Amino acid sequence: METIKYWYLRNHELFTQMNEAEIKGLCVISGFKRAHKNEIIYFSHEEVKRIYLLKKGVIKIVSSDEAGNEVTKEVMQAGDLFGEITLSHRVAPESEYAKAITDEVIICSFTLDDFEKVLEKNPAISLKYTRRVGDKLRAFENRYADLIFKDVRTRVVEFLKGFAQANGKLENNQLTVKNYLTHQDLASLTGATRQTVTSILNQLEKENKIHYSRSQITIPNLAELR
């Protein structure tokens, strides 16, 4: 287990400048978890706040309100950070959790206190982390801007292209990716209703821009999907 943890941390972009002894020190304070499809990885209301590093697989971040309504807020791929990334010990205003949506998910994690100590001792890592958080905040800002300035079809198309490029396989300009998301997930992620997303997907199918099923998404020609 320690050897596996060592190599996952060693290969993460945040820790590339650390030497072997320093990485081994991270192994001592980090947690390691292997999860399977549909397994809940963390809840925002947990007493001990943690930072999570996604090493393998895809997860989705879901929030729910007091009425039990659930919304998919974000999809995370290998290398992404989630949890209390703002290093805040605040009480979450809403219930949020991370759920594995691929067959296997592997994560490493640190308590907030331990991770803050790592950043204090390593200015280079602190700078990288600050940049990663800044990039994440800008991505959220861009999503809100898209809601204002882009129509629903454009938002759905751009999300599908980004998701397929990040997780799929390209052959002869045809991009194929396993589909882990429901129509409701796509609706939540693009600020649309499920009915509208279904209508757009059906239209894209008729135009031969995508082939969409519960298990797979195929984009015959990435350049023509718009």
95 phi and psi angles, rounded to 5 deg: -80, 125
Q: What is the rounded CA–CA span in Å between residue 23 and residue 27? A: 6
Tell me the longest C-alpha to C-alpha distance in the chain. 57
DSSP 110-178: EEHHHHHHHHHH-HHHHHHHHHHHHHHHHHHHHHHHHHHHS-HHHHHHHHHHHHHHHH-EEETTEEEEE
More confident residue, 90 or 139: 139
Q: Does domain 151-224 have CATH number 2.10.10.90?
A: no
At 139, the pLDDT band (50, 70, 90 cuts) reads confident
- Hey, what CATH topology would domain 2-147 get? Jelly Rolls (2.60.120)
Does residue 222 have a pLDDT over 60? yes
Which of the residue ranges 74-78, 93-97, 176-180 would you say has the lowest mean pLDDT? 93-97
DSSP 8-state class, residue 102: S
Q: What is the pLDDT of residue 167?
A: 87
Intervals of CATH 1.10.10.10 along the chain? 151-224
pLDDT tens-digit map of 5-45 = 888 888 888 998 899 999 999 999 999 999 999 999 887 77
Does residue 207 have a pLDDT over 80? yes
Q: What is the pTM of this model?
A: 0.84
Q: What is the rounded CA–CA span in Å between residue 23 and residue 5? A: 10
More confident residue, 90 or 106: 106
Q: What is the pLDDT of residue 92?
A: 56
Q: What is the rounded CA–CA span in Å between residue 158 and residue 161? A: 5
